[in-house]
Amino acid sequence: MVMQRSIAAITFIIFTMIGTTMAAVPIASIDRSVIAIDDTLTLTIRINDGGSYTGPDLNPVKTSFYVLGNSQSSRHMIRNGKSESWTEWVITLMPKRKGRLEIPAINVDGQRTQPISISVQPSIPTPGGTLEPVFLESEVDTSSVYVQQQIIFTLRIFQSVQLDNMNITEPEFDNAAMEKLGQNSFQRRIQNSPYRVHELRYAIYPQETGDFIIPEMMFSANEAMARRSAFSLPGQGKRIRKMTQQHKIKVKAPPPSFSGDTWLPAKSVKLIETWSNSPGNIYVGDSITRTITIEADGLLDSQLPPLSFSPIEGAKFYPDKGSSETSVTDKGSLSSRADSAAIIPTREGEITLPEIRLQWWDTKRNKMQEAVIPASTLLVKPALNGTQGNSTPLAMDHSLTAAKVSTVSADSQTADNLLWQVVAAGFALAWLLTLYLWWQLKSKGTIDVVQEDSVVAKSLSEQQTFGLLSQTCRDNDIHEVRTALVNWARAYWPEQNIQSLQDIQAQSDHPSLNTALAQLDNVLYGNQQDSSGWHGESLLSVIKLVRENGKNKSTKAAGLKPLYSN
């Protein structure tokens, strides 16, 4: 048995490596999606794999763009004990015409990137007369906004001479929140002269009504001097100082026509509902997690309100702590907030979930809009074999005597899928190869067959122990799941001495996990010990939520709180 479990663990590692290799696909990205006809554009193609590649086929790109440069780099690093490798190509492009252009799908050794759309605008007007070798320009995307509405502020530094010691003051505000969107460098031809352009973009959110001022920003640098000879040091030329113009923006209060609870001025807001497993297949006593996510374009995550789940008849609710994040693009901020709750039906029949509505202000159409999750009905099936929906408290302690590693088996339900047929064949081949190597080592006296299972378990990573736990839950193996669960928890919280289900409960503050542990403990050690009503998929869905939330309980520092609530 020890031999079989050891081979299973080793084979799972091989299987994971095979899956990782198959998943290596090229990803294309650009530094800007809106450019001028005289600008250059940086296209980056990355493969998260340390393999050897011949490079991207850029011939389809040349239909709409000039290819001005192409460089390749590869890196390998170890972060938090995990090895990472990638290969990257950085390509400089210039558009051949104005309008909406597309960077087509690019072939990299048989794999293709996704196409990317680019907006190419006419040449940017420049001041008349002779241009200086260094000059600045700044702009805002609007002259009037509502309070807490996003303002895009752009600063550009133009240089046609070599500069040293460049420095620019960052904008600071006491009455506004700010997010830096990015910094790019590109070439632009102005009056037949090439200029190097450094572009900085910021998203600013005024928190008070009235006149909002973006003050002047100071740029300083030294003009570089050429060496007089090969033995002389480079000198510094004259000191250059330039200032941007000041921008004044009118900030308005929320309009009286807005009737929502929280003021949300955005380009778009939507609600997305997801479930940990199918809500159409739920029994009395099952635990299923419902997640509602707010996605907003033009807001910070600190502006998004938490969503509350109203109590409903016939079910228990266990809300979880919400999570939020903000990402940035060259067009502004994109934010999201996810709120989850575990639902445990206490009776069979229909259970109605009320609709969820969120009012927000559409800054593009200048009117109030509503994001809605319609009301829905859960059809709860009777508990299997009389299993009760009410969970019982965890037993005080059930210590481990020996850690066990479950055998990974192929899922027969995927046999119709050609891809998984290939994977299953590779899995079987790896199994036979490992078995042969083990027999060879054993015949030479290299392997100690009295090795404890716990040693094998400790040698696995968190991802590998989670894979074994996932397979055990999908097999609905009640006799092996407790050991697999403890092995995963040890790898997930390596600094803790986890020996039992109670230790896992003490370490995690996730209410859905505590409920699932109580159900498992009741089935294993309760009075009836009837496992026919236990479903491993329900436990697995909760474990996935715990892993998504992350083991670090510290949350991101809160931003400025919304000032306007109706």
DSSP string, 528-541: S---TT--HHHHHH
Q: Which of 7-11, 148-152, 339-343 has the lowest mean pLDDT?
A: 7-11
Element (H, E) at 44: strand 41-47
Cβ within 8 Å of residue 356, ≥6 positions away? 271, 292, 307, 372, 373
User: How many C-beta atoms surround the C-beta of residue 206 within 10 A?
Assistant: 24
Q: Which of 45-49, 71-75, 108-112, 227-231 has the lowest mean pLDDT?
A: 227-231
User: What pLDDT, in 10s, does the model give residues 118-133?
Assistant: 999 887 766 666 788 9
pLDDT score recorded for residue 533: 64
Cβ within 8 Å of residue 465, ≥6 positions away? 457, 484, 487, 488, 490, 491, 492
pLDDT score recorded for residue 324: 92
Residue 420 confidence (pLDDT) above 70:
no
Q: Which of 219-228, 256-265, 552-561 has the lowest mean pLDDT?
A: 552-561
Q: Which CATH number fits domain 134-252: 3.40.50, 3.40.5, 2.60.40, 3.30.70?
A: 2.60.40
Rounded distance between C-alpha atoms, residue 444 and residue 464, angstroms: 29
- Cα angle 365, 368, 373 (rounded to 5 degrees) comes to 115
Q: pLDDT above 90 covers what percent of the chain?
A: 40
Rounded distance between C-alpha atoms, residue 38 and residue 197, angstroms: 11
Give the orientation angle of helix 511-525 with respect to helix 536-549, to 10 degrees. 150
Rounded distance between C-alpha atoms, residue 383 and residue 523, angstroms: 14
Phi, psi (rounded to 5 degrees) for 12: -65, -40
Rounded distance between C-alpha atoms, residue 86 and residue 491, angstroms: 26
Write down the pTM of the prediction.
0.60
Rounded distance between C-alpha atoms, residue 302 and residue 205, angstroms: 12
* Mean pLDDT value across residues 395-411: 37
DSSP letters spanning 176-193: EEEEEEEEEEEEEEETTE
Alpha-carbon dihedral sign for residues 91, 97, 102, 107? negative
pLDDT score recorded for residue 556: 40
- Give the SS3 label for residue 241: strand
- Per mean pLDDT, which of 26-40, 436-450, 464-478 is the most reliable? 26-40
pLDDT score recorded for residue 292: 95
- Give the SS3 label for residue 133: coil
Fold of domain 265-386: Immunoglobulin-like (2.60.40)
474: tokens are: 């999908």
Residue 1 confidence (pLDDT) above 60:
no
| Domain 134-252 shares a fold with domain 265-386 | yes
Element (H, E) at 464: helix 462-474
Banded pLDDT at 227 (limits 50, 70, 90):
low
5: tokens are: 């479990």
The CA-based dihedral angle spanning residues 481, 493, 2, 5, taken in that order and rounded to the nearest 10 degrees: 60
Residue 9 confidence (pLDDT) above 90:
no
Hey, which bits of 208-331 come out as E strands? 210-214, 218-225, 235-243, 247-252, 265-266, 268-275, 282-283, 288-297, 315-319, 323-329
User: What pLDDT, in 10s, does the model give residues 327-364?
Assistant: 988 889 999 999 999 999 999 999 999 999 999 999 99
Q: Which of 69-78, 134-143, 519-528 has the lowest mean pLDDT?
A: 519-528
Rounded distance between C-alpha atoms, residue 126 and residue 263, angstroms: 39
User: Domain extents for the chain?
Assistant: 2-19+393-549, 39-121, 134-252, 265-386
The structure tokens 């010691």 sit at: 165
Rounded distance between C-alpha atoms, residue 270 and residue 299, angstroms: 12
23: tokens are: 């998943």
Length of the chain: 566
Q: Burial level of 70, CB count in 10 A (0-12/13-18/19+)?
A: middle
Cα–Cα nearest to 406, from 331, 486, 340, 333: 486
Cβ within 8 Å of residue 325, ≥6 positions away? 301, 335, 336, 556
User: How many C-beta atoms surround the C-beta of residue 361 within 10 A?
Assistant: 22
User: Would you give the DSSP letter of residue 414?
Assistant: G
Cβ within 8 Å of residue 451, ≥6 positions away? 2, 6
User: What pLDDT, in 10s, does the model give residues 130-149?
Assistant: 788 999 999 999 999 999 99
The structure tokens 């903000």 sit at: 326
Cα–Cα nearest to 302, from 497, 558, 21: 558
* Mean pLDDT value across residues 422-450: 54
Cα–Cα nearest to 187, from 195, 179, 176: 195
Cα–Cα nearest to 504, from 551, 537, 468: 551
Q: pLDDT above 70 covers what percent of the chain?
A: 74
Give the type of residue at 445.
G
Q: What is the mean pLDDT of the chain?
A: 79
Residue 304 confidence (pLDDT) above 80:
yes
